[in-house]
C-alpha cells in the first residue's frame, strides 16, 4: 500500500492549513487505497487570526499543536520526517503556507521559505517521488523546484506573477482541474484559490491525489 506524507501549516484558513483541503486530501488518499501520515513544523505560527471576525489576536500558538487538531492528534514533528518511508507528498493550502512555511503572504517574489520545509520537499523530488501542492502552496514551487517547473494558483495575475518571479512557470487553471509537470513530478490544483464550494474544491483535489498515487 502506498504511503503519502502530508505537511500541514497549522489549523485554519487564515493562519494555518485550510481545513477543508486537508480533510479532503486525507479522505481521497484513503478512498484511493493509500495511507497517509501528517507532519508539521514544531514552531510558533506567524500570528493568530480570529476566524469569526478576521482580527489578529494577541496570543501565540504552535504550528504542530494546532495542526494536531486536524490530524486528531496523529501527527509528527516535521523534523522527524524520513522521506524514504513515503511514496509521495501533499502540501495543502491555507495562509499558513504563506505565513508559517514561508513569508510569501508578505513578501511575494522577495519571500523566503522555511528551511526544514524546503529540505523535505526537495528530498522527495530528489528521490523522484511526486508532490501535490494545493491552493496557495504552488506559489512556493519556485523556491523548491528547478526553474520553469509548472505551477498554478488559478488565475490571479499578481500572485501568478510573484510565483513566476520566483522561477516557476504559471499556467491558468480552473478550480476543478489540475496542472501537471511530468518531468518534475509536480501536481497543482487551485482549490480554494478559486473554488466557491467544498464540492468544487474536492473535484480538483481528487484529480490531484489520483494523479499523485498513479505517479508514486
Catalytic residue list: 135
- The SS3 assignment for 186 reads strand
Burial of 47 (0-12, 13-18, 19+ CB in 10 A): middle
Q: Give me Rg for the CA atoms of the chain.
A: 15
Which DSSP string corresponds to 77-130?
EGGG--GGG-SEEEE--SHHHHHTSB-HHHHGGG--B-HHHHHHHHHHHHTT--
What would the DSSP string read from start to end of 26-59? Answer: HHHHHHTT-EEEEEE-SSB-S-EE-TTT-PEES-
Amino acid at each position: 500500500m502506498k504511503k503519502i506524507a502530508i505537511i500541514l501549516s497549522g489549523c485554519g484558513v487564515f493562519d494555518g492549513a485550510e481545513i477543508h483541503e486537508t480533510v479532503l486530501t486525507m479522505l481521497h488518499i484513503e478512498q484511493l487505497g493509500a495511507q497517509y501520515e501528517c507532519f508539521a513544523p514544531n514552531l510558533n505560527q506567524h500570528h493568530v487570526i480570529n476566524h469569526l471576525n478576521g482580527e489578529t489576536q494577541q496570543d501565540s500558538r504552535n504550528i504542530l499543536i494546532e495542526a494536531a487538531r486536524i490530524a486528531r492528534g496523529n501527527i509528527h514533528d516535521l523534523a522527524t520526517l524520513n522521506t524514504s518511508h513515503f511514496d509521495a507528498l501533499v502540501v495543502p493550502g491555507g495562509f499558513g503556507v504563506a505565513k508559517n512555511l514561508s513569508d510569501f503572504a508578505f513578501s511575494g517574489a522577495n519571500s523566503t521559505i522555511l528551511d526544514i520545509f524546503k529540505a523535505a520537499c526537495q528530498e522527495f523530488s530528489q528521490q523522484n517521488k511526486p508532490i501535490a501542492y494545493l491552493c496557495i502552496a504552488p506559489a512556493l514551487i519556485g523556491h523548491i523546484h528547478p526553474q520553469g517547473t509548472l505551477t498554478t494558483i488559478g488565475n490571479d495575475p499578481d500572485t501568478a506573477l510573484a510565483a513566476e518571479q520566483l522561477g516557476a512557470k504559471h499556467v491558468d487553471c480552473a478550480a476543478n482541474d489540475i496542472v501537471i509537470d511530468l518531468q518534475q513530478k509536480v501536481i497543482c490544483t487551485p482549490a480554494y484559490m478559486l473554488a466557491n464550494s467544498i464540492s468544487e474544491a474536492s473535484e480538483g483535489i481528487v484529480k490531484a491525489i489520483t494523479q499523485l498515487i498513479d505517479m508514486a
